[in-house]
């Protein structure tokens, strides 16, 4: 008989999200064991202790997926991995057409050959996308709000306040497969593997994580003032912002480097890194290329 190991993060999401993980006992017939990922010190050791027919259910949002993907980088394991999307942000599930708290679905293949990002010589894998600039400001502000874990932050409210009062755009250079573009007053410059990030934002509506070419897309929102940006920003949730061609450009390639003229925060599937001046994102087909 197989055993399902449900991995969840007791510090992520709200109190209700953690409690909802127990709902899996209703929909899964096999025996389940619930494990807080904060208690897993070594994934290689943990995975080696599973029987061949055992399976894993990742319960959570973007951050839970990202942490598992990076913690298991370079580890070969044959156990099936399922996903139960019950986090604050469930952009991966949304991209594949699944809703919050749907029945667990298989994602083993999606965890293989992931794109990577290099920051200060260190490599991270990412599932959905990498945000740089204003979107990271919003994530940082939302994390502060979520210190009360029974409340959810209103991303739009945070974004409006940030646009009007707090965040200042930067100048940037974006290099895609060796060709460099320069932009002024850059508000957003995310590089995407899927279509969604940030709890439903769709910066690159034509990006396909399942494409044979394994390309990535970077969306640059630039050269606009606060009020114009404020008017266009909500349309990102529907992917309609791309019609504003004077202030929105999408570039596609296998290696994307973004450089800002001052340090700013960056998030990888919602996981924050502060004080970043540049990043390089690479498609999995360029993995043998040495980091610059």
125 against 12, higher pLDDT: 125
Does the pLDDT at position 27 exceed 80? yes
Chain mean position to CA 188: 15
- The ranges of the chain annotated as CATH 2.60.200.40 are 116-286
| Both structure tokens of 105 | 């679905």
pLDDT at 274: 87
| Euclidean distance between CA atoms 85 and 64, whole angstroms | 10
Residue 127 structure tokens? 């599932």
Looking at 2.60.200.40, 3.40.50.300, 2.30.40.10, 3.40.50.880, the CATH number of the domain 116-286 comes to 2.60.200.40
- Domain 3-111 adopts which CATH fold? Rossmann fold (3.40.50)
d(CA 89, CA 196): 10
Q: What are the residue ranges of CATH 3.40.50.10330 in the chain?
A: 3-111
Residue 179 Cα distances to 26, 94, 260, angstroms: 53, 32, 16
Residue 172 burial by Cβ neighbours in a 10 Å radius (0-12, 13-18, 19+): buried
How confident is the model over 54-61, as a mean pLDDT?
A: 96
Range with the largest mean pLDDT of 138-142, 176-180, 274-278, 284-288: 176-180
What digits encode the pLDDT tens for the residues 230-248? 899 889 999 999 999 999 9
Return phi, psi of residue 97, to 5°. 90, 15
3-class DSSP state of 207: coil
Mean pLDDT is lowest, of 135-144, 147-156, 228-237, 253-262, for 147-156
């Amino acid at each position: 008989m197989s055993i399902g190991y449900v991995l969840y993060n007791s510090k992520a999401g709200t109190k209700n999200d953690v409690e909802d993980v127990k709902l899996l006992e209703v929909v899964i017939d096999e025996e389940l064991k619930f494990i807080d990922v904060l208690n897993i010190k070594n994934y290689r050791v943990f995975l080696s202790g599973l029987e061949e027919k055992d399976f894993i259910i990742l319960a959570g949002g973007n951050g839970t997926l990202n942490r598992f993907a990076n913690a298991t980088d370079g580890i070969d394991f044959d156990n099936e991995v399922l996903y139960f999307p019950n986090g604050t942000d469930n952009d991966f599930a949304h991209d594949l057409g699944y809703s919050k708290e749907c029945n667990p679905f298989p994602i083993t293949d999606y965890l293989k050959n992931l794109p990577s990002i290099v920051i200060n010589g260190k490599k991270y894998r990412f599932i959905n996308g990498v945000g740089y600039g204003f979107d990271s400001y919003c994530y940082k502000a939302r994390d502060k709000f979520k210190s009360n874990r029974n409340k959810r932050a209103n991303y739009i409210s945070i974004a409006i306040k940030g646009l009007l009062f707090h965040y200042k755009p930067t100048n940037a250079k974006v290099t895609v497969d060796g060709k460099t573009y320069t932009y002024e007053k850059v508000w957003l410059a995310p590089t995407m593997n899927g279509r969604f990030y940030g709890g439903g934002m769709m910066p690159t509506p034509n990006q396909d994580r399942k494409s044979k070419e394994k390309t990535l897309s970077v969306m640059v929102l630039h050269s606009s003032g606060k009020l114009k940006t404020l008017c266009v920003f909500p349309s990102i949730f529907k992917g309609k912002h791309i019609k504003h061609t004077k202030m929105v450009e999408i570039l596609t390639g296998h290696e994307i480097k973004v450089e800002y003229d001052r340090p700013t925060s960056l998030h990888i599937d919602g996981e924050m890194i502060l004080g970043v001046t540049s990043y390089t994102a690479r498609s999995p087909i360029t993995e043998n290329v040495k980091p610059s």
